Amino acid sequence: NAGVMQNPRHLVRRRGQEARLRCSPMKGHSHVYWYRQLPEEGLKFMVYLQKENIIDESGMPKERFSAEFPKEGPSILRIQQVVRGDSAAYFCASSSGGPNQPQHFGDGTRLSIL
Amino acid sequence: DAKTTQPPSMDCAEGRAANLPCNHSTISGNEYVYWYRQIHSQGPQYIIHGLKNNETNEMASLIITEDRKSSTLILPHATLRDTAVYYCIVRSYGGATNKLIFGTGTLLAVQP
């Protein structure tokens, strides 16, 4: 499967723990996007990264959330000191970044906070 | 906020064409119309996009009005597996941000 790979598919954490969500983009894609979907709500943009750079983080909460896309390896969305309100589906998308190029999504990570 | 307006829900009989409308009256000249769908909380699936010409691929056709203020996604022969929430999104060409802004979409229910 050459699509966007996200892991884990399901993640359970207790309040106060850290959550790390991983995203491997499609082959040849160097642009990664993270979106969050709260229960019964639509998808909301969080952050847009290119290799080693954050391009747009206008949708990221100011505290506890961070994202990276290192030169080697997957993109990581990190949530520190998780709270119940962080329970959501987190989707990653990738694109080649060129104009007129669609984003392709992974199947998401379902994060549950106990 | 999303720059598109879609009906909240539609029904379609299996085997018939599904025509999903979208209004984007404030679209700018450098904005594309994109369509995605989300089947039962899976990741959104890219369907098709266009700028001003009509487009067709193996999944669907996209008809954009001449003034570009509205468009229609056509699934020519709907099946039960096409039941999903369909999102119409306008997206700027180029620029520093490539984010997609999802609205509430249209829930298409294909009936047997």
Residue pLDDT, tens place only, B57-110: 999 999 999 999 999 999 999 999 999 999 999 987 666 668 898 989 999 999
Q: For residue B36, what pLDDT is reported? A: 97
Q: For residue A42, what pLDDT is reported? A: 87
CB-based contact, B92 to chain A, within 8 Å: no
Q: For residue B93, what pLDDT is reported? A: 65
The per-residue pLDDT of chain A, averaged, comes to 94
Arithmetic mean of pLDDT, A19-36? 96
CB-based contact, B34 to chain A, within 8 Å: yes
- Percent of chain A topping pLDDT 90: 85
Subunit contact A42:B94, Cβ cutoff 8 A: no
How would residue B40 be classed by pLDDT, with cut points 50, 70 and 90? confident
For Cα atoms A90, A93, A98, give the angle at the middle one, nearest 5 degrees: 155
Chain A residues in contact with B34 by the CB 8 A cut-off are 102
DSSP A84: G
Subunit contact B99:A97, Cβ cutoff 8 A: no
CB-based contact, A1 to chain B, within 8 Å: no
What secondary structure does DSSP assign to chain B, as a single string? --S-B--SEEEEETTS-EEEEEE-TT--TTEEEEEEEE-TTS--EEEEEESSS-EE-SS-EEEE-TTSSEEEEEESS--GGG-EEEEEEEEESSSS---------EEEEEE-
CB-based contact, B40 to chain A, within 8 Å: no
The helix/strand/coil state of A71 is: coil
Of the residues B5, B31, B45, B98, the best mutation for testing chain A's interface (the one with the most A CB atoms within 10 Å of its CB) is B98
Q: For residue A97, what pLDDT is reported? A: 78
Chain A residue nearest residue B99, CA to CA: A45
| Residue type at B57 in one-letter notation | N
